[in-house]
Amino acid sequence: MFDQKGQIRIFEAFLAVAVIFGALLISATFPSQPDLSKQKSLASLGTQALMKFGINGTLGNLILQENWTVIKTSLDILLPIGVSFNLTVYDENLQAINNQAIQNTNLLGRETVSVQYVCATQNSNVQFFIIRLQLAWTR
Amino acid sequence: MRQKHRRNSGQILLIAAFIMASLLLSAQLYVFEVGKITVETDSNALNDFVLGLRLGSRHVVIGSLANISNGGQSNTLTSNLQQWSSIVGQQYLLGKSILNYTLNDTAPYSSGIWVDWGTSGTGVSSAYANFAYRLSDKEVVANQSYFVNVTTTVLIESRYKILSLLEKQVNVTINVLNEAQPALAKQITVYYRFLDSWLVPDETNSYSLSDYGNGTYIASFVTSVSLSDVEVSVHVVDQRDIFTQANVTSTQI
């Protein structure tokens, strides 16, 4: 009798643990919190794209020329497929200077990550810009 | 017999407790590992930011040297770096972000600038600055030190051969270097001395400039300089708009 009772208790204990872990596993799949590592990697992608773009002063020169279309096209190439972006260029006084939107799709309603990048132009009259790049996965 | 059964069931209970404990510990370990990944990604974000700073600092030094070498004021580097440092300091609102710089004053540099456009066939325009970046908030303190050295060097060699009593053909080999590596020039202007003035050879001098695509250029022209030596000066603007000139006296082949 004692043996059977003990076995049943052990079985019950295991069952309880299984139920708890099952609940934990199920709750982990709920999108209750943003996936931080995914968001961080997106931020890293954005920073690296901006650095590649600015490595020879190209980004700074395009900002000086106010060539927003080429900036948008270049970011389209530099960022992986499936990433939406919206870029805003500010001067030293934090006034936005791009008079047209630099974005591939609308980010409204999406979970975005923001990257800030300080850009110095590489010409004889050095100017400074602050670039804010908002990114989101499209799927 | 009954006592033996009791002992066995106790052992099984203990084993079950160990299994449960190991399950709980493994779950805890998993949570710890996930936390470590987040810390690593934070560190990557900081590294990305510092890489961006280094790139920006380099642009500021290049732009300042381009300005100074083209006749700008010698304090351009200082004022640009002050502005850069101030902007970087305003970028982090949750803590302190401080970028300090020091200009190299070790000879041949003075206030971070070295310009030597001598007559030995070598011309140098260079800028050198050291940076120390410190980011601190409640959770993290990061220190990064780096330097930026931007140098454009022009090396020239010139030789001439006598074509006739009044004509000499001058060949000038020009090598352009950025940070001691071959680099392309944006603009090259060759001058030669005729009496008291410097002239630019043109079509009337059968002037030609060959670009070998690897930072080496050969200029060739015919002059009627009657003196035994031909003085040549080469002015180069590299792809970064940094101006450098080198002067040399041609020797006969």
A125 contacts on B by Cβ (under 8 Å): 63, 67
On the question of pLDDT at B7 being above 70, the answer is no
Between CA B202 and CA A80 the distance in angstroms is 51
In chain A, % of residues over pLDDT 90 = 41
Where helices occur in chain A by DSSP H, the ranges are: 2-28, 36-54, 58-64, 68-78
DSSP secondary structure, chain B, as one string: -HHHHHHHHHHHHHHHHHHHHHHHHHHHHHHHHHHHHHHHHHHHHHHHHHHHHHHHHHHHHHHHHHHHHTT--TTHHHHHHHHHHHHHHTS-TTSEEEEEEEE--STT-BTTEEEEE-SSSEEEEEEEEEEEEEEE-SS-EEEEEEEEEEEEEEEEEEEEEE-SSS-EEEEEEEEEEETTEE--EEEEEEEEEETTEEE---GGGT-EEEE-SSSEEEEEEEE---SS-EEEEEEEEETT--EEEEEEEEEE-
User: Looking at the domain covering A35-137, what would its CATH class be?
Assistant: alpha beta
Say whether A3 and B5 touch across the interface (CB within 8 A).
Answer: yes
Q: Which of A98, A110, A51 is nearest to A75 (CA)?
A: A51
Among A43, A4, A125, residue whose Cα is nearest residue B41: A43
Output the pLDDT for position B27.
73
A chain contacts of residue B20, beta-carbon cutoff 8 Å = 13, 17
Give me the pLDDT at residue A92, please: 87
Q: Which residue of A has its CA nearest to B4?
A: A3
Domain map (residue ranges) of chain A? 1-32, 35-137
Provide the 8-state DSSP code for A85: E
Euclidean distance between CA atoms A47 and A117, whole angstroms: 7
Question: Does A128 score more than 90 pLDDT?
Answer: yes
Q: Inform me whether the pLDDT recorded for B138 exceeds 80.
A: no
Fold annotation for B153-252? Immunoglobulin-like (2.60.40)
Residue recorded with tokens 């050969």: B218
Interface test with B, best of A63, A92, A117, A118 (most B CBs within 10 A): A118
Nearest CB to A44 within list B12, B44, B59: B44
> Could you tell me which residues of chain A have a Cβ less than 8 Å from any Cβ in chain B?
2-3, 6-7, 9-10, 13-14, 17, 21, 24, 36-37, 40-41, 43-44, 47-48, 50-51, 54-55, 57, 60, 92, 116-126, 128, 130
Of the pLDDT bands very low, low, confident and very high (cuts 50, 70, 90), residue A37 is low
Longest Cα separation, chain A: 93
What CA–CA distance (Å, rounded) separates B236 from B74? 20
Higher pLDDT, A27 or B236: B236
Q: Which residues of B touch A (CB under 8 A)?
A: 2, 5-6, 8-9, 12-13, 16, 20, 23, 27, 37-38, 41-42, 44-45, 48-49, 51-53, 55-57, 59-60, 62-64, 66-67, 70, 72, 80, 83-84, 87-88, 91, 240-241
pLDDT of the residue at A123: 86
State the smallest CA–CA distance between residue B177 and chain A in angstroms: 16
Domain ranges of chain B: 33-150, 153-252
Inter-chain residue contact A125 with B67, CB threshold 8 Å:
yes
Residue range B9-53, pLDDT digits in tens: 566 666 776 777 777 777 777 766 665 555 455 556 677 888 888
Before A31, cis peptide (omega within 30)?
A: no
* b/e per residue A103-132 (b: at least 16 CB within 10 A): ebeebeeeebbebbbbbbbbbbebbbbbbe
Test B91 with A130 for CB contact under 8 angstroms.
yes
